[in-house]
Amino acid sequence: MKRLIALLIASVMVIGMTACGANPSTEPPTEEPTEEPIIRPVFDPYEKENNYKLTEKYTEEQEGVDYGTIDEDVKYYSKTAGDYKYCNVLLPPGYDKKKTYPVLYMLHGWMSGYDVHLCPDSYLQILYGNMLHNKRTVPMIIVSAEMYTGKWKYKEQIEENDKKLLAAYARVVQDLPNDLMPFIEKTYPVAKDRMNTAIMGVSQGGTKTLAIGFSHLDRFGYIASFAPDPGAVPTDFLKGTIWNKPLLNDFPDYDPRVEPFFLYLAVGADDPENVEVTKFYGSLLKKLGYRNTTDVVDGYEHDYIFWRAGFYNFLNKIFRP
């Protein structure tokens, strides 16, 4: 009898607790959402000093070194251009379609082209092959993009008109991420994450590199701009001219989740035009919170000798685990 009475009392207590709003659910309490962790390479490129004194070991073709192969005049359709465009693609020594490679996009300068810096036996192919042979960089695919983005049959005519040519160059800011990158990712075994995607450019290409990279920080983990012209963001340089029309209203606010793993700007101290604008970009980005290296290097001008030295440092520091 006592046991029966105790069971009845317990039943009444449970009913009472339910009636008073007690939660009989066995589901665990909802946890607060946590932010996705920021993943960064272990290697810190800012800790390694840049080297601008390259020896023939890196600048000249060496016996017994494999310099990879170049797919020349690779054709793809650009919706931005409304026409076909071209690029050159460097495949590293030992290229294997079954592997996945990091990818570096490169933009040329004014009145240049996709086949100038990267073509068979070019200085960039020789530099990269020597660096890879001497374990100063890692296997990657390098894509030399064409900045001219318009009807290809009109290219030579437009080259006579700076304003129209500059406008055609500006459209690469849409073409590269929206047309070229999807084509490369479909055609070659390249990684698609920002830790394995880089972009670099020289002169006008350096300006476009900043605009593309900072418009797509979620896609580019490494950005290098060498002797860039005005026009990435508003400045007072060449104000009132066609060269000052900004591609971006401003660089985006700093966000640690998409901060570049390495942001590198450099210019030769004897560059006739772009020393101060390069320093301006580096200073502005630093004020916004973006860690960067901005070098003004004695003894260099605005030419491929300096580009090669800058490329060496960038290739030496990107895609490290």
Higher-scoring residue by pLDDT: 27, 239: 239
* CA-based nearest residue to 203, from 231, 181, 177, 178: 231
Position 281, amino acid: Y
* Domains assigned to the chain: 64-317 (3.40.50.1820)
Average pLDDT of 257-263? 97
Output the pLDDT for position 38: 64
Instruction: Compute the radius of gyration of the chain from its Cα atoms.
Output: 27
Quick check: 174 pLDDT over 50? yes
Per DSSP, 36 falls in state: P
- pTM as predicted: 0.87
pLDDT band at 156 (very low <50, low <70, confident <90, very high): confident
Per DSSP, 160 falls in state: T
Q: Which residue has the tokens 């607060």?
A: 32
For residue 217, how many other CB atoms are within 10 A of its CB?
18
| Average per-residue pLDDT for the chain | 90
For residue 258, how many other CB atoms are within 10 A of its CB?
16
The β-bridge relationship of strands 222-226 and 197-202 is parallel
Q: Cα torsion at 156, 123, 205, 100 (round to 10°)? A: 110
How many secondary structure helices (H) and strands (E) does the chain include? Answer: 10, 8
Average pLDDT of 219-223? 98
Q: Are 104 and 318 in contact (CB under 8 A)?
A: yes
pLDDT per position as a tens digit, 12-67? 343 344 334 334 444 444 445 455 566 677 889 999 999 999 999 999 999 999 99
Average pLDDT of 260-284? 98
Output the pLDDT for position 169: 96
Q: pLDDT > 70: what percent of the chain?
A: 88
Q: Are 89 and 184 in contact (CB under 8 A)?
A: yes
Q: Are 88 and 71 in contact (CB under 8 A)?
A: yes
pLDDT per position as a tens digit, 282-307? 999 999 999 999 999 999 999 999 99
